Amino acid sequence: MDYNYWGEIERGNSEPGLEYIFRIAKGLQLPVTALLIDKEEDSNLLKKMQALSEKATPDQLALLYRFAKVIVG
């Protein structure tokens, strides 16, 4: 991973794609879920998910659905 890209992620200027999330988890020797699960309780989480899904492309929405199906069952 390029150091400049890593710096952008750390500063919040860029969000890593799924491929990079897997690479980061492997490099940190963490399960991928450790990077994907927000441990803070948020009463507006459902509204935030809905807002994100409304901005998603059809392909992104399909990917979100597959993730949710795997996580929730």
Q: What pLDDT sits at residue 57?
A: 92
Same domain for 49 and 63, yes or no, is: yes
Nearest to 24 by CA among 52, 15, 39: 15
Same domain? For 21 and 47 the reply is: no
Same domain? For 46 and 31 the reply is: no
| Residue-range definition of the domain harbouring residue 3 | 1-37
What does pTM read for this prediction? 0.44
Q: What is the pLDDT of residues 22-64, one digit of tens each?
A: 888 898 888 888 888 766 666 788 888 899 899 999 999 998 8
The Cα 43–Cα 17 span in angstroms is 26
- Looking at residue 40, its pLDDT comes to 65
Q: What is the pLDDT of residue 48?
A: 86
pLDDT score for 54: 92
Residues 54, 32 share a domain: no
The total domain count for the chain is: 2
CA nearest 72: which of 29, 37, 40? 37
> Are residues 28 and 49 part of one domain?
no
Q: Is the same domain home to 49 and 24? A: no
**For residue 58, what pLDDT is reported?**
93
Do 32 and 50 lie in a common domain?
no
In whole angstroms, how far apart are CA 69 and each of 9, 14, 39, 61, 66?
27, 26, 19, 12, 5
